[in-house]
Amino acid sequence: MLITAFPSGPFATNAYLLKCEQTGQAAIFDPAPGSAEDLKWATAKLGVQGIFLTHSHWDHIGDLAELKKHLDVPVYVHALDSVNVAYPGADRLPLMMPVQGVEPDGFLEEGQQIQIGNLLMKVVHTPGHTPGGVCFYLKEQAVLISGDTLFKGSMGNISFPTANADAMWTSLKKLAKLPNETKVYPGHGEPTMIGNEHWLENAKEVFIC
Ligand SMILES: [Zn+2]
Ligand SMILES: [Zn+2]
């Protein structure tokens, strides 16, 4: 397994490319604004199975339309974030740049298993930052792609229009149950480990003073 980050756009949003080295199959996560050219290059010899979205904020889907057109692969998002993918800005979060909408091809659900070559990833629904926020968990490889739910030492904004603080606390408690050695690849910033984020169980007490 190989995972590569492409930090792009005004907030250095991490687009990720996940590759099964045995089969050459791959998946793209969160094609941030400005990431399309790098991702086209990086996937030129790979079999891309789909573009998977941790959530629908514009800084995670900025180059989605361009990349989908180029690769002609399906786009997946949780149903509760899907309207904002088709109509960016529908969630009332102001866009900092024009973003072209894309009609999703499929909806992600809690517990759903997705096969990328020989890699198996599970969808973990983690609402809070947005209603349809998800993480992607590869148990065997001990990897979590966490979107804006969990950052190194921090979490996603819960003051945005569709955010829900109580849902966020529950989602972070869910992530706290993952094995300590799980490596976390967040939507912004550097990777971390679940075992290093000791605050997850008590996020409410830590962040609401
Ligand atoms: Zn976000
Ligand atoms: Zn973000």
How many Å lie between the centroid of ligand 1 and the Cα of residue 148? Answer: 5
**pLDDT attached to residue 207:** 87
**pLDDT attached to residue 26:** 98
**pLDDT attached to residue 96:** 92
How many Å lie between the centroid of ligand 2 and the Cα of residue 187? Answer: 6
- Which CATH number covers residue 142? 3.60.15.10
**pLDDT attached to residue 208:** 79
Q: Which ligand is nearest to the CA of 10?
A: 2
**pLDDT attached to residue 209:** 61
**pLDDT attached to residue 129:** 98
- ∠ CA 157-80-60 to the nearest 5 degrees? 50
Q: Which ligand is nearest to the CA of 57?
A: 1
Cβ atoms within 10 A of the Cβ of 1, count? 15
Q: Which ligand is nearest to the CA of 160?
A: 1
How many Å lie between the centroid of ligand 1 and the Cα of residue 158? Answer: 9
Q: Is 175 helix (H, G, I), strand (E, B) or coil?
A: helix
Q: Is 95 helix (H, G, I), strand (E, B) or coil?
A: coil
Q: Which ligand is nearest to the CA of 188?
A: 2
Cβ–Cβ under 8 Å, residues 170 and 131? no
**pLDDT attached to residue 165:** 97
Per-residue pLDDT of the chain (209 residues; tens, 9 = 90+): 999 999 999 999 999 999 999 999 999 999 999 999 999 999 999 999 999 999 999 999 999 999 999 999 999 999 999 999 999 999 999 999 999 999 999 999 999 999 999 999 999 999 999 999 999 999 999 999 999 999 999 999 999 999 999 999 999 999 999 999 999 999 999 999 999 999 999 999 998 76
How many Å lie between the centroid of ligand 1 and the Cα of residue 134? Answer: 11
Which residues have CB atoms below 5 A from the ion given as ligand 1?
A: 57, 148
Domain count, the chain: 1
Tell me the residue length of the chain. 209
Structural domain containing residue 122: 2-207
